Amino acid sequence: MPGQRHVRPGPRAESDLRAGRFEPRCPACGAGLAPGLVTEDAPTDPRNVYATTKLAQEHLASSWARATGGRAVSLGYHNVYGPGMPRDTPYAGVAALFTSSLARGEAPRVFEDGGQRRDFVHVRDVAAANAVALETLARGDADAGPAGLTAYNVGSGDPRTVGDMAGALAAACGGPAPVVTGEYRLGDVRHITADSARLRHELGWRPAVPFAAGMAELATGQAVSLATGP
């Protein structure tokens, strides 16, 4: 929007969702908004139980670090996927639902219009992020940072839509094309994409599994060769 102001829209109204108006609007002028990356320092605004409990865990870790003079790291995983992901459960994320449908020969059902943006990050890249964070803390030197809690986003840096994911999975396994249903869930945030620059710059982490290769592996169960990520 004009001036590139940062705007934090509130929860979407159910009347808008019912009418198929999925994109949030500027609360001041009603103009359309361009989604951006969320940093670790962005104000918190949990809108469902899952998000609230994650924030509470971070607060507890921060309180411990202050009380003891210790160091803690909070890794904010974005949409993790990869080998071993359980199927037929909503708790493993939308990738599990899509792969379960395709395994049954059914089309993945995509909510809203499929344009929701997420940061899908491969589980091997998440494991690598854990390793570098633990190694840094274990060194116990100046590189580990000051006492207290340091938060890091863990994302691929390559935002894609939920529709992109459904299409990539269906194509990789030769299954039926996704069906966009227009359904919605109250409390879902339209766009959630991470800025992982802090993890890259401070700890030297880089994602290694590109989106297309990771989706092919998830769909077929066949391991893929790794390449340097973005």
50 noted as active-site residue: yes
Measuring CA to CA, how many Å separate 46 from each of 10, 119, 161, 169, 187?
A: 11, 18, 21, 30, 9
Beta pairing class for 117-118 and 160-161? antiparallel
C-alpha–C-alpha distance, residues 176 and 179, integer Å: 9
Alpha carbon 85 to its chain centroid, in Å, reads 15
CA dihedral sign, ordered 49, 157, 211, 83: negative
**In this structure, what DSSP letter does residue 150 have?**
E
Tokens of 220: 């077929």
Q: Where do the DSSP E strands lie in 11-98?
A: 71-77, 79-81
Alpha carbon 60 to its chain centroid, in Å, reads 22
Which residues participate in catalysis according to the annotation? 50
